[in-house]
Chain A
């Protein structure tokens, strides 16, 4: 072998960098995934340190390893940790197993690795990630899982090639004293490292994997909800969610509003009301000592899975489908009092204030779905009577001030002052007009803030808001209005829930975030039942505005909710619904096609019988013309591509020669058509010999042509023009002889 420098091909036989760097990153990602899922910093830090050290060593082209004995001792220690965690600390087996797998991987990084060890490490890392997947369903985990799978696919592909290379390099026949030197093997197996081809193949493989995964996800029959996962962070959050029994005012501090999406609301049909949507969760009627609580008798609740008003009317009914974050349980939110409510997999309790609670059998990270039907105001007489029956309180008893609202003397004075002011400005003094006046005045004269000052000791929080601080958030505004209304003998109460303002214009879906939590006022009048007033100034929306970071945060929060709602929450019912919709769609399409065919038949009949070209026949003709045009374009494009390919081939000396010398193969084909025996296992040379004997052709000429074909096709030979021309002439002569 001549003296030369090593090619990358030869180096790739011994180089470990190509495999080890992505492998180390993959192992690190697996460790981080599990540590993130379980929220343990120790394993994340340990994994980062160990993998970082190994990466540094690999990058410097060195190899640091311990004796296998010490590695085995470390593995034994990891086993002891596993047993301790299970039996002494009582950790769940899956979590302990994850720790064990992580420790083993970190130990094995320090041993001298053979291909078997690489297989083990890939398998261990994959098992760790699968274990993490059995624990968590979070979107960040899913995103990292995708990255991990891409990396794992790449590592495995490289490793598969490396194994083949190693096998070729280590192959030794029993009669050989030693394997061939790597440079000789390299010439025989590889020209250059196929980096770009690997990337393309990886993209293809990922496309197939994604398609299969999506198909499996949607098509595998679901049977219903199974047991909850081992650790579900949503479950943990759910324990502290929902709206409490009391609202306490007067506490100092800054209120932080999260962008987390907690609910999506979609109205059926075109019944979506315009403007912001007040989604009521709870109402509070009793106010004393700066705190709100539910009124008396509200705990008389009927447990039902479905409330059905006997004489409801559909005139102004709207039905909305709500997907709600489980942390908001047990409260169910509805725009206007829900008169009909149905949920999946849970029971409903509704109290006399028409506040609804849902209790589910299990907590999970899946959003709770329910359907609520409400009546849009104004209500008719029958609807008002039904609501009155549900409340179990005569309408007359709701007139006048609420006996449960403790109005302070100063608040009463202020209310009287405002009432006088109102009378100076307008003549109307109905309950509704009073409430409207107070609402507008609060909006105008008071300031919205999330940074709350503390109420002075012994002072009522609403009094402090009205007379001293003159700023606060929605609960203060609503509380103040309720108290002022009641001071003027107008029945009012505090309602708490969400104010949905973010509406997807395309789908008509409202997206509700935690920051949309809101309090407002419901005022009772016999003519309208309870109606909504919102005294909070519009600065709330401005407070939610922000830059691109905020927008990114909102997007991420929306994605998280959609992930849990659409992906994690995909269950048997959703599957059946999709199947039902598909069936309906197919049936609808079938009907449309049948109708169109029928119409077309009539049109054609009219065209043929009466010579009248109506719209249907014209459409058919247009469609035919369009199809013909598309076909013509396809043919032209294909022909042009062929021409282009031919031109490029002719420019390339080798491809051009191949194209011109295809006449050799055509000659053999012609001979076969003329009776030459066809044996698929015969080589071209043998066929040529047979042909020469059978057709009395000059064997040397035929063999020369076949030899030229072999050299051109297999040997990388680039014939010059003379050679090609000579071969073409020979083929022409032979054809003449055959024809003769």
Chain B
């Protein structure tokens, strides 16, 4: 098989639609009447009805087998959020347009989809049929294949052909709304230091100080130095990058529906917070537990980091082993310096690691999973369901 051709005729399936069943019943009745009465006019009508069925099969088969389809879908999507995707359908026949083509995902699990539709596809032409879907579960979603189908010309028969196009997409936990501002703005650290050599506009004026040995004469503030014996130089402050450390305690002794629901809500909160942090330019770090051990993603900014963090949240498993202490142990303490730390715990007695953390950190926010609704509005029940 050549590289540019899909298998054309891998099992076209036909199924009678509801009007098709009615039509078939009428055809059978006409056949019985024709055999009973032997009237030629009834035979003619029977032939016409059979002809309509034959034409339906033949035309639908021809259209479905002569059409290629390619899926164009993003590889990361948000849970419970409509995703627009495109199906490139192409009529490879030299003659004969395809009409009324529908494109849908084959047996999609964990997603709801609105199928794509193409009214008219001339010969040798391509069309991007728009469709959309919403993933109902976070995690890895496997799209098996694409089904191209049609009920043209008479709506009596549904002809469909599956095109095997496996594709894995990662569904990030859905986003809700934060009620309180957990990310305080302007937490830049200042340092008494001269303007950095690289410049770049990140430095801000902090104050004046006396000239020291080694300072560049270019930093001298000449106007203020005019009445002094010792010249003064400008002292600049370099804003430290905003860093968010998000620590999630995902361990459960066992999982039932309620606990799973709580965990999902925690993950949606985390995703919401992370997304907000990235939107505000934070460097985001994530620490959470999994069956394989603690997962620690060191702070960084940018698109790649966003993917890493949200992918980790999307792929969070049902952790029963790694608790908060082990997570905190895995984080090197110094990494958390100058960072905003948000810890989401399961409540109860504070652990040893938490106590240490409370003592060491002042910009620490500890949230209780049971009281998460105080700071977070989750998606509606309908959306979650």
Contacts and interface: CB of A to CB of B under 8 A. Distances in A.
Interface of A: 9, 12, 119, 123, 126-127, 130, 133-134, 136-137, 141-142, 145, 149, 153, 156-157, 159-161, 163-165, 167-168, 171-176, 184-185, 187-194, 197-198, 200-201, 204-205, 208-217, 220, 222-227, 229, 567-572, 665, 668-669, 672, 678, 680-681, 683-684, 687, 713-714, 716
A222 B38 contact: yes
A410 to B, nearest CB: 57
B48 A134 contact: no
Contacts of B82: 173, 175-176
Interface of B: 1-4, 6-7, 19, 22, 26, 30, 33-48, 50-52, 54-55, 58-59, 70, 80-82, 88, 90, 96-97, 99-100, 102, 112-120, 122, 126-134, 151-155, 164-166, 382-383, 385
23 contacts: A119-B19, A137-B39, A142-B41, A145-B45, A157-B154, A164-B100, A168-B117, A174-B112, A175-B82, A175-B382, A188-B117, A201-B59, A205-B59, A209-B52, A209-B54, A212-B48, A212-B54, A224-B38, A226-B39, A227-B36, A567-B40, A684-B4, A713-B90
Given A229-B37, A681-B164, 14 more contacts: A157-B153, A160-B152, A164-B117, A164-B119, A173-B112, A173-B114, A189-B117, A190-B118, A194-B119, A210-B51, A216-B50, A220-B34, A567-B44, A568-B39
A226 B36 contact: yes
B47 A149 contact: no
Contacts of B165: 681
Contacts of B40: 137, 217, 567-570
Contact of B38 (A161, A197, A223): A223
B117 A133 contact: no
Contacts of B4: 665, 668, 684, 713
A571 B39 CA distance: 9
Nearest to B152: A160
Contacts of A714: 70, 88, 90, 126, 128
Given A134-B33, A220-B34, A714-B126, A191 B153 contact: no
A192 B118 CA distance: 11
A227 B152 CA distance: 38
A3 to B, nearest CB: 21
A54 B55 CA distance: 32
Contacts of A214: 47
B72 to A, nearest CB: 8
A163 B19 CA distance: 13
A680 B382 contact: no
Contacts of B2: 665, 669
A153 B155 CA distance: 11
Contacts of A224: 38
A469 B19 CA distance: 72
Contact of A175 (B3, B166, B383): B383
A673 to B, nearest CB: 11
B379 to A, nearest CB: 9
A127 to B, nearest CB: 8
Contact of A188 (B46, B90, B122, B130): B130
A136 B48 contact: no
Contacts of B3: 665, 668-669, 672, 684, 687
B38 A189 contact: no
Contacts of B41: 133-134, 136-137, 141-142, 229, 568
A218 to B, nearest CB: 9
10 nearest interchain CB pairs?
Answer: A188-B130, A213-B47, A209-B51, A212-B51, A216-B47, A194-B120, A226-B38, A171-B114, A668-B3, A226-B37
Contacts of A161: 99-100, 119, 152
Contacts of A167: 117
B50 A172 contact: no
B276 to A, nearest CB: 21
A577 to B, nearest CB: 16
A277 B263 CA distance: 103
Contacts of B383: 174-175
B37 A160 contact: no
Contacts of B44: 133, 142, 213, 217, 567
A15 to B, nearest CB: 13
A190 B42 contact: no
B51 A211 contact: yes
Nearest to B164: A681
Nearest to A224: B38
A188 B115 CA distance: 11
A677 to B, nearest CB: 12
A212 B54 CA distance: 8
Q: Which of A119, A171, A214 has the most CB of B within 10 A?
A: A171
Given A176-B82, A191-B127, A197 B99 contact: yes
A163 B152 CA distance: 11
B133 A173 contact: yes
Nearest to A179: B114
Given A173-B112, A714-B90, A153 B154 contact: yes
A204 B51 contact: no
Nearest to B57: A208
Contacts of A156: 153-155
A165 B119 contact: yes
Given A153-B154, A226-B36, A668-B3, A197 B122 contact: yes
A208 B55 contact: yes
B118 to A, nearest CB: 6
A168 B114 CA distance: 8
A215 B48 CA distance: 10
A227 B80 CA distance: 65
Contacts of A191: 120, 127
B51 A197 contact: no
A554 B370 CA distance: 95
Nearest to B53: A212
A563 B260 CA distance: 77
Contact of B47 (A174, A197, A215): A215
Contacts of B166: 681
A684 B68 CA distance: 14
B47 A164 contact: no
Nearest to B48: A213
A190 B47 contact: no
Given A216-B47, A568-B40, A190 B120 contact: yes
Nearest to B384: A175
A165 B116 CA distance: 10
A190 B89 CA distance: 12
A194 B97 contact: yes
B51 A213 contact: yes
A134 B36 CA distance: 12
A189 B50 contact: no
A598 B269 CA distance: 94
B165 to A, nearest CB: 6
A175 B51 CA distance: 44
A292 B118 CA distance: 79
A153 B385 CA distance: 43
Contacts of A130: 26, 30, 45
B26 A160 contact: no
Given A176-B82, A216-B46, A160 B118 contact: no
Contacts of B90: 713-714
Given A137-B41, A212-B50, A187 B130 contact: yes
Given A194-B99, A680-B1, A681-B164, A188 B54 contact: no
B38 A159 contact: no
Contacts of B97: 194, 197, 200-201
Nearest to B79: A175
A130 B58 CA distance: 24
A205 B39 CA distance: 25
B37 A227 contact: yes
A564 to B, nearest CB: 9
Contacts of A134: 33, 39, 41-42
A193 B47 CA distance: 31
A317 to B, nearest CB: 33
Contacts of A222: 38
